[in-house]
Amino acid sequence: MLFPRMASRIVERLPRANRGRAVLVTSARRGEGKSYIAARLATALVGQIDGAIALVECSTGSPGSSDGTVASISWTDLVTNRSRAVPPPAILGAGALVRIPCGNGEAATPFRSAGIAYALNLLRERFAFVVLDGPILSDTGVLSACSDGSVIVINARRTRREVVRGSLRAYPIVPEKLLGGVLNEAPRYVPKWLYRRAL
């Protein structure tokens, strides 16, 4: 029940819109489990949202998910599409959950502001909800600003609170867009005071 509840809370915290919404899943450092959380979030959204869900692998380091139909176009293709031609719907995939792979390397850099904005707008028109399996905070670039909200994944066993706070100070997220944090690999019982002080 954890992921359906998390998905429901994220949807509730996002502003209403006439098109799809995009949420960035990131972390303060590598190895926190953000790709796993992003995939589970996307799966949990199926059935809660009317329309198709897209899971986008925005980082070359993403291990990839086996869930959903794989699109014939990559995130890199969308970001670097200089002609801004709208790809046919079939290329973006069909089904309740569509996975869009990262594609080839450096071209997928999140600092291409015009390309990121174009790609996200295109995905918002096609999908009811877009889950961005993003890079770590220091590499998010304009992804954070272009998305509707961000979720930070924190490995409870290995990442100290100071590390997360330091990353947020160095690479801040607009407070209204910070939807919350996910404690990955947390003990079965976590006191309420620890949740309140997690960030």
pLDDT for 170 equals: 84
Secondary-structure percent of the chain, ordered helix, strand, coil, rounded to 5? 40, 20, 40
Find the angle CA(132)-CA(137)-CA(142) to the nearest 5 degrees. Answer: 65
Domains annotated for the chain, with CATH where assigned, are 2-196 (3.40.50.300)
* 48 burial level (CB within 10 Å; 0-12, 13-18, 19+): middle
Q: How far apart are CA 141 and CA 120, in angstroms?
A: 14
The strand ranges marked E within the chain are 21-27, 53-57, 69-70, 97-100, 129-133, 149-155, 178-184
State which residues of the chain have pLDDT below 70. Answer: 1, 61-66, 82-94, 105-111, 186-199
The pair phi, psi for residue 191, each rounded to 5°, is -60, 150
Is residue 76 within 8 A of residue 26, CB to CB? The reply is no
Cα–Cα distance, 42 to 48 (Å, whole number): 10
Specify the pTM.
Answer: 0.84
Task: Report the chain's terminal Cα–Cα distance, integer Å.
Answer: 24
Q: What is the pLDDT of residues 58-69, one digit of tens each?
A: 887 666 666 778
Residue with tokens 């850099």: 109
pLDDT of res. 187: 61
